[in-house]
Structure 1
Amino acid sequence: MSETYWRELQAQGLAVPSDRSLHELTAELTTMLGDPDPAVRDGLAVPVILTWLDRGVYDDLMSGLGDGMAIGLSAGLGESGTDTVFRRSLSARILGACLDRGTEHALVAPDRVLDWGDRLATWFLREQDLRGFVPGKGRAEAVSHGADALGALARSSHLGAPELTVVLDVLADRLLLPTEELFSHGEPDRLAAATMQVLHRDLVPLSVLEPWVARIAAHAGVRAAYDGRDPYLVRGNAESFLRALYLQLALGPQPPAVRSDLLLVVVDALRATNPDHLRAPGEHYLGTRRASARS
């Protein structure tokens, strides 16, 4: 159908039309998620699907809708710099909404939730197109939408401590993968927000969280390697994430049970990985040690 059809439907309040089947409408909307025109995918397809989800239109069809979004995660996977990223990224966004709706109303069986989680994780770690914004075509944001979806997964009561620990590992793996361009469109904040969803479940103990933070801090602490590679490409994303996690732990509402102890762990990691910024007055940084400016 034409873009005009959907704009008229939007102007009329997005009531489900009776002239076409919901299956046909959804198939068209799913295709529109990959449209290079942001007015089509972000301005029409996403609002329609999310509105119908919120209104319960898909409640009896939630498993099928989520399965369709999970399939969309593999569309063009491995490509970078092409328009296929939009379909993958927005499939993750909608799948996250399916997970949230399913959790709120107990609509999705545990096995299917875990299957969606596996497929999300596989896509998230294999995604090669990390562009936040594409000039002329709008937001791509695969990492951000993937983090949001993993946060929705973490909110599911079907995940216990072992599965939540896997979610944390997936978030860290994505954060620490080699990159030629640092995250610059809020991805560290979204990854930290997903981490907070895990922490809010109050199931993962500090004994697991401490080495997890240490692993990230090890990357954040990399300095000059003298091998010709920009060390900031190794440490930059990890540094930004630790700062974002500290901010959300310190200022976020409804703190998790581990907040106080974990804050100390994160503060120690930030001090260790930012010696040049957190040195005492009168000291200057000399690579791996400090020296007094008066000595």
Structure 2
Amino acid sequence: MWQRIACLALLSCSSFAYAGCPPEGTDRPSLDLLKQQEFALADDAQRATLALALVDCLADPDPALRDGIAYEALTAWMRGKQLSEDTRRTLMTRLYKMLDAEDPAGFAHPFAALVLSEVARTDRIEPWMSKKERNAMVVRATDYETSVRDYRGFEAGAGWRHGVAHGADWLLQLASNEQVDRKQVDRILAALASQIVPEQAHAYVFGEPGRLARPVVFIAKRGLLTEAEWQGWFTGLASRLGNQELAYQDPAWLARRHDLIAFLSGLYLESDQSTDSQINGLKPAIVAGVKSVP
């Protein structure tokens, strides 16, 4: 396996072109072995080159390659601080290109967003992005979350897509970053609202309301909004339900209500159980939000 991986180091990290999945110079057995060895690669250049080459595998229809190898490897290397700033920046650029490309199978975009959440996490832990890069990422992440129209979660054999949840994970890392300012947080809250009560009236069944609640919890922890501002935001969510004359008379209206109540209920429980005063202090605003729902 190491001979296969080593040949990747001959390729330039900056000029490497997508080669498909498995990446050139590897095969499924070698990648399986790498996973068994907890993605240990001693050579920095080999690791960086393979990290960039694994981007294509994020679109692979095989969940064992997509989720179990590509995502897990990239996450392990970033959380282990084993990818340089230059490699992370190149990775970020390639993932943006993946988001811009067509995604007929519906795997590439959600998994690009999920890995971008890990890129964002590295900047939250130890800031390395420029202010311009970070703002561009906030725009990318909010545009992605707002744009999701594929609501498939888990499918037997195909595994996960989970676009809304993966976008929420990306927004979580940005929302909890002290370098992200109030204006950017407002944009994040607007993107979350667009999927808390989705216009397409999809009733969530794969835990999406809980994932959408997590960025809100971390925004609250930062203490950026007043109680009145939170109350306005929560009560404003009910306006997304649509024509009130359709209340309890329309499947789409009922689906939206289902999602909103699931979000508010889960968030209230998390707030109630929190020992953080800022998070616990959300309860009155959440209750106001619940009371605003027909």
* TM-score range for the pair, normalised by the shorter chain length: 0.7 to 0.9
Paired with 1:76 and 1:30, the residues of 2 have a C-alpha distance of 15
Gap change, CA 1:182 and 1:268, over 3 Å in 2: same
Provide structure 2 residue ranges, at least 5 long, that are not aligned to the other structure: 1-25
Equivalent residue for 2:75? Answer: 50
Paired with 1:238 and 1:213, the residues of 2 have a C-alpha distance of 10
Equivalent residue for 2:55? Answer: 30
Paired with 1:227 and 1:213, the residues of 2 have a C-alpha distance of 21
Equivalent residue for 1:254? Answer: 276
Of stretches 223-232 and 179-188 in structure 1, the one that deviates more from structure 2 is 223-232
From 245, 253, 256, the counterpart of 1:234: 256
> After superposition, what is the alpha-carbon deviation per residue over 1:99-137, rounded to whole angstroms, capped at 9, x for unaligned?
111121122222111111101111211122111112320
Q: Is the 8 A contact 2:138 2:184 kept in 1?
A: no
Over the matched positions of the two proteins, sequence identity in percent amounts to 22
Match status 1:76 vs 2:102 = yes
Paired with 1:154 and 1:102, the residues of 2 have a C-alpha distance of 12
Superposition pairs of residues 121-140 of structure 1, within 5 angstroms: 121-140=142-161
Q: Is the 8 A contact 1:70 1:116 kept in 2?
A: no
Which secondary structure does the structure 2 equivalent of 1:15 belong to? coil
Paired with 2:180 and 2:187, the residues of 1 have a C-alpha distance of 10
Equivalent residue for 1:11? Answer: 36
- Please report how far the alpha carbon of residue 227 of structure 1 lies from its aligned counterpart in structure 2 after TM superposition: 10
- Please report how far the alpha carbon of residue 67 of structure 1 lies from its aligned counterpart in structure 2 after TM superposition: 2.3
Gap change, CA 1:23 and 1:59, over 3 Å in 2: closer
Equivalent residue for 2:179? Answer: 158
Paired with 2:34 and 2:85, the residues of 1 have a C-alpha distance of 22
Amino acid at match of 1:41: R
- Please report how far the alpha carbon of residue 63 of structure 1 lies from its aligned counterpart in structure 2 after TM superposition: 1.9
Paired with 1:168 and 1:19, the residues of 2 have a C-alpha distance of 38
Match status 1:103 vs 2:129 = no
- Please report how far the alpha carbon of residue 270 of structure 1 lies from its aligned counterpart in structure 2 after TM superposition: 2.0
Paired with 1:226 and 1:124, the residues of 2 have a C-alpha distance of 27
Paired with 2:156 and 2:32, the residues of 1 have a C-alpha distance of 24
Kindly report the root-mean-square deviation, in angstroms, between the aligned alpha carbons of the 2 structures: 2.4
When the two structures are superposed, what TM-score results if normalisation uses the length of structure 1? 0.82
Amino acid at match of 2:286: V
Of stretches 126-135 and 40-49 in structure 1, the one that deviates more from structure 2 is 126-135
Equivalent residue for 2:288? Answer: 268
- Please report how far the alpha carbon of residue 146 of structure 1 lies from its aligned counterpart in structure 2 after TM superposition: 0.5
In the comparison of the two structures, how many residue pairs are matched? 267
Equivalent residue for 2:225? Answer: 204
Provide structure 1 residue ranges, at least 5 long, that are not aligned to the other structure: 275-295
